[in-house]
């Protein structure tokens, strides 16, 4: 039961500390839309999505007014489109991307995720065709997001897919160079991708999910930072407890919104993803939380340990506030979307190698990082392989969303605007990984994957 103090505290968090629901995401299965005639399949996709999500945006707006809680994004995630494309031999999967864009326009959602393929153990019918079409699909649409899962703890890493994805990321940047290379900003390469992630660009609706479901992604870095700055002399144990209590309050709000949306839309409530998702807005930064714990600047020595503390406390506090926690659940560290990360990258304290180390303890990994436009596809592939290895060995989700800034060099700024923010072009190691990537094959799963 909420008392007067709880209500007033929540209002203060919303008004002064950037607390919001980052997204309500409707997951929709498209398995019953599969048809060998791609035009018929696209028509089925449009009919199903627009009927299921017809009132999604309207419902989100009603909940905002009812509870006074900002809901920043209303999104849709669908079955990996490669599964539909597999039935349409000889046809371009881009037709599905255009159909999804039409759905986004009709429903008024911010993004639709699921232009995706799951190739952690190899390529099945439709996978390579879809992956090769990603650059064009992201160039001709505005609201479609794509993801590819290239590895897992149980299967190892598909290095043929890793090689291909380096080429796809670079091509996507080239095709959208006139739009600030926005293509790769809508493309995520995963290891251990979850089936119920509500956050873009990596959201897709897994085959083990219900026909239709509502998932919620909460936010609130500003709330956590505000709580910590009140206790400058607290011990590490006390810091952990403060974060846990704050995460509980944030997640409780997500549970309320998800349950209400489920009731109003008449679809099952899936999960709350309790990740701390930053924005470029002042006071809404994960990096600033780490600095409030005691670091002079994010990226200095101690950053990985402080992030581990934050991630663990967020999960322990949040899990008590919802019956169903899922998605990614932790702390995001996207460079261009976090004011503190941007500052740390510009002043040189935060480097790619440190971000890679932080991947081992954070929610995802190398996220929204701009690199020089002349980066080679094999270097992109090698960066993807390193991140996937961390995920595979540590049995966690890792991901790469890297943007080759075509025409820009180290130290330049790449501007996206909105929630995507802007990011400095970060330096990379220019020594070649070409021979390693060219070998192909599969990196075997680690010994601890054999659990049956």
CB-CB neighbours of 122 under 10 Å? 11
- Does 181 share its domain with 289? no
What is the three-class DSSP state of 327? coil
447 by Cβ neighbours in 10 Å (0-12 / 13-18 / 19+) ranks as: exposed
Radius of gyration of the chain (CA): 21
**Structural domain span for residue 101:** 23-191
- Considering the chain, what is the average pLDDT of its residues? 90
Nearest Cα residue to 367 out of 147, 144, 141: 147
Nearest Cα residue to 221 out of 296, 332, 364: 332
**Vertex 432: Cα angle to 151 and 350 (nearest 5):** 75
Report the CATH number at residue 329: 3.20.70.20
| Per-residue model confidence (pLDDT) at position 21 | 84
Average pLDDT of span 420-431:
88
187 phi and psi angles, rounded to 5 deg: -135, 125
Greater confidence, 20 or 259?
A: 259
**Which contiguous run of DSSP H or E holds residue 64?**
helix 56-67
| Per-residue model confidence (pLDDT) at position 3 | 47
pLDDT tens across 323-373, in order?
Answer: 888 888 888 888 888 889 899 999 999 999 999 999 999 878 899 999 999
| Per-residue model confidence (pLDDT) at position 2 | 46
Cα–Cα distance, 206 to 426 (Å, whole number): 34
pLDDT classification of 66: cutoffs 50, 70, 90: confident
Cα–Cα distance, 188 to 147 (Å, whole number): 5
pLDDT classification of 176: cutoffs 50, 70, 90: very high
- Does 181 share its domain with 249? no
Separation of CA 85 from chain center: 24
On the question of pLDDT at 387 being above 90, the answer is: yes
On the question of pLDDT at 318 being above 70, the answer is: yes
| Per-residue model confidence (pLDDT) at position 296 | 94
Average pLDDT of span 206-228:
89
Look-up of token digits 């990603």: 134
pLDDT classification of 9: cutoffs 50, 70, 90: low
Cα–Cα distance, 382 to 397 (Å, whole number): 18
Lowest-pLDDT range of 81-85, 100-104, 320-324, 444-448: 320-324
- Does 70 share its domain with 169? yes
Q: DSSP secondary structure string, 259-316?
A: HHHHHHHTS-EEEEE--B---SSTT--HHHHHHHHT-SSTTSTTHHHHHHHHHHHHHH
pTM of the model: 0.92
pLDDT classification of 297: cutoffs 50, 70, 90: very high
pLDDT classification of 16: cutoffs 50, 70, 90: very low
- Does 55 share its domain with 171? yes
| Per-residue model confidence (pLDDT) at position 53 | 96
Nearest Cα residue to 154 out of 452, 356, 360, 384: 452
- Does 118 share its domain with 34? yes
Asked whether residue 204 is assigned to any structural domain, the reply reads: no
Nearest Cα residue to 41 out of 53, 30, 57, 55: 30
On the question of pLDDT at 225 being above 90, the answer is: no
On the question of pLDDT at 10 being above 60, the answer is: no
- Does 239 share its domain with 93? no
pLDDT classification of 4: cutoffs 50, 70, 90: very low
Q: First CA to last CA across the chain, in angstroms?
A: 43
On the question of pLDDT at 17 being above 80, the answer is: no
Greater confidence, 26 or 319?
A: 26
Average pLDDT of span 306-334:
88
Could you tell me what percent of the chain has a pLDDT over 90?
68
- Does 142 share its domain with 265? no
> How many folded domains does the chain comprise?
2
- Does 183 share its domain with 239? no
| Per-residue model confidence (pLDDT) at position 1 | 41
| Per-residue model confidence (pLDDT) at position 13 | 56
Average pLDDT of span 392-404:
94
Tell me the sheet residues that pair with 77. Answer: 27, 113
Could you tell me what percent of the chain has a pLDDT over 70?
95
Cα–Cα distance, 330 to 43 (Å, whole number): 38
Q: DSSP secondary structure string, 331-388?
A: B--BSTT-HHHHHHHHTTSS-HHHHHHHHTTSSSEEEEEEEETT--HHHHHHHHHHHH
- Does 221 share its domain with 358? yes
- Does 340 share its domain with 444? yes
- Does 297 share its domain with 441? yes
Distances (CA, A) of 95 to 41, 102, 133, 335, 443: 10, 11, 10, 32, 34
Average pLDDT of span 207-235:
89
- Does 222 share its domain with 187? no
Average pLDDT of span 89-93:
92
């Amino acid at each position: 039961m909420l008392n007067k103090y709880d209500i007033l505290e929540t209002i203060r968090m919303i008004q002064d500390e950037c607390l919001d629901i980052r997204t309500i995401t409707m997951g929709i299965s498209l398995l019953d839309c599969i048809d060998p005639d791609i035009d018929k399949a696209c028509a089925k996709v449009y009919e199903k999505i627009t009927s299921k999500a017809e009132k999604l945006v309207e419902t989100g707006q009603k909940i905002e007014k009812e509870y006074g809680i900002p809901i920043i994004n209303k999104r849709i995630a669908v079955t990996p489109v490669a599964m539909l494309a597999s039935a349409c031999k000889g046809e371009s999967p881009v037709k599905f991307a255009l159909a999804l864009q039409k759905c986004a326009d009709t429903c008024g959602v911010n993004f639709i995720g699921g232009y995706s393929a799951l190739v952690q153990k190899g390529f099945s019918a439709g996978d390579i065709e879809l992956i090769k079409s990603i650059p064009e699909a992201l160039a001709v649409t505005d609201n479609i997001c794509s993801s590819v899962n290239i590895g897992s703890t149980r299967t190892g890493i598909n290095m043929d897919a890793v090689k291909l994805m380096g080429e796809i990321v670079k091509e996507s940047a080239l095709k959208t160079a006139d739009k600030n290379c926005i293509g790769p900003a809508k493309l995520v390469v995963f290891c251990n991708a979850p089936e119920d992630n509500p956050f873009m660009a990596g959201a897709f609706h897994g085959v083990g999910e219900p026909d239709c479901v509502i998932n919620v992604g909460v936010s609130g870095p500003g709330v956590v930072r505000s709580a910590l700055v009140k206790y400058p002399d607290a011990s590490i144990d006390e810091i952990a407890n403060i974060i846990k209590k704050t995460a509980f309050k944030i997640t409780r709000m997500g549970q309320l919104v998800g349950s209400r949306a489920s009731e109003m839309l008449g679809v099952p409530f899936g999960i709350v993803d309790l990740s701390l998702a930053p924005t470029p807005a002042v006071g809404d930064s994960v990096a600033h939380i780490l600095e409030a714990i005691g670091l002079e600047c994010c990226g200095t020595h101690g950053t990985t340990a402080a992030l581990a503390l934050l991630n663990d406390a967020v999960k322990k506090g949040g899990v008590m506030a919802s019956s169903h926690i899922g998605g990614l659940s932790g702390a995001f560290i996207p460079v261009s979307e976090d004011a503190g990360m941007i500052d740390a990258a510009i002043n040189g304290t935060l480097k790619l190698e440190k971000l890679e180390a932080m991947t081992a303890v954070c929610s995802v990994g190398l996220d929204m990082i701009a690199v020089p436009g002349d980066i080679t596809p094999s270097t992109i592939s090698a960066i993807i392989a390193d991140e996937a290895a961390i995920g595979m060995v540590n049995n966690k989700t890792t991901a790469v969303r890297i943007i080759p800034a075509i025409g820009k060099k180290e130290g330049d700024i790449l501007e996206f605007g909105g929630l995507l923010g802007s990011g400095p072009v970060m330096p990379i190691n220019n020594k070649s990984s070409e021979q390693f990537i060219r070998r192909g094959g599969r990196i075997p799963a680690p010994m601890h994957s054999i659990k049956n």
